[in-house]
């Protein structure tokens, strides 16, 4: 599976502007419990806490969807 999420947030360095980024989530789900996911954050400038929090929240949400064994 592969997902791409494009987003824009208010710039923390230049007031009144926005910066764009993309998050890619790629992975495979296995019937044997060996799932593998890769999270990639692409952004040219102006990284901030929101960028990393989005990746962490996506990972947390994906893990919560896993059935408990």
- Going from the C-alpha of 51 to that of each of 9, 26, 41, 59, 66, the distances in angstroms are 9, 17, 8, 13, 24
- pTM (2 d.p.): 0.60
Chain-centroid distance of CA 41 in Å reads 6
pLDDT, position 33: 73
**pLDDT averaged per 10 residues in sequence order, the chain, 69 residues:** 85 86 84 80 81 78 67
Dist. CA 48–CA 42, nearest whole Å: 13
């Amino acid at each position: 599976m592969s997902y791409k999420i494009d987003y824009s947030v208010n710039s923390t360095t230049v007031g009144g502007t926005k910066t764009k980024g993309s998050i890619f989530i790629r992975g495979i789900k296995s019937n044997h419990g060996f799932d593998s996911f890769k999270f990639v954050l692409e952004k040219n400038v102006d990284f901030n806490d929101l960028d990393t929090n989005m990746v962490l929240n996506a990972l947390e949400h994906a893990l919560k969807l896993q059935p408990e064994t």
